[in-house]
Amino acid sequence: MNMQAVLDKPKSQTAPVRSKWYRSPWNIVFLVIAVLFVAARLPFYLAYDYTHSVVHLQPSFPKAHYLLMTMHVLFGSIAIVTCSLQVWPWLRNNYPKVHRITGRIYVLAGVLPSGLLALTASVVSTVAVGGKVGNVLLSLLWLASTFAGLYYARKRRMREHRRMMIYSFALCWSIIENRLWIGILFLCLLPFKKGYYHGSIDAMFSDIAVASIWTGWVVSLLIAQWWLDRKPNALT
């Protein structure tokens, strides 16, 4: 087939085949859950009343810690919503300009500020050392995968770009999954409250906090890799 025949071929024959997974309603589900999560969490920080903080604050500088968390949550909310739009193939295929704009918002107004603030918040948090390490690694991997995805996009290496952005999506969404793991771990450890924890609910929740931090992003990455292995054509 000569070059002119390729150019004259109808679009319907040259257009890439879309994956069935991306045609499922899961993308709408992701977006709805992200919006509901943001709507439920953001009001606690918009009022800027550190006495109503949903996380334990450093007693020596509660207001500064609360301000740090507020900024992290604000930028993180932008990241969660725009990230849910980024993995929607219908939007990418039909409105590529919107996909690119929301992608830049995700990186520059979401991941970059929220990830850097998360690094600081992880160090000053009141969670145990194991939890601090888990949050620092999560923040570093989130920043690294996102900017690797941006690099590949600028180089027009779209297969690598999509792989990195799926990892970025998984790490971003692990903050939502973390809440689910807290509930699961609570139910699993509750029978040990009287024995192992000697009736201390605080000691039990300290372990739950650390375990949920690691479980959230590690399991999320494993699921992303499993899906990529099963759907390699989704990267084309």
How far from 113 is each of 56, 151, 223, CA to CA, in Å?
A: 22, 18, 26
Mean pLDDT of 74-85: 93
H or E segment at 164? Answer: helix 158-189
In tens, the pLDDT along 6-45 reads: 444 444 444 444 544 445 567 788 888 999 999 988 888 8
Amino acid at 105: I
Rounded distance, CA 115 to CA 121, Å? 10
Mean pLDDT of 47-64: 84
In tens, the pLDDT along 85-138 reads: 888 888 888 888 998 999 999 999 999 999 999 999 999 998 999 999 999 999
- What is the pLDDT, as a whole number, of residue 22? 45
- What is the pLDDT, as a whole number, of residue 31? 85
- What is the pLDDT, as a whole number, of residue 235? 66
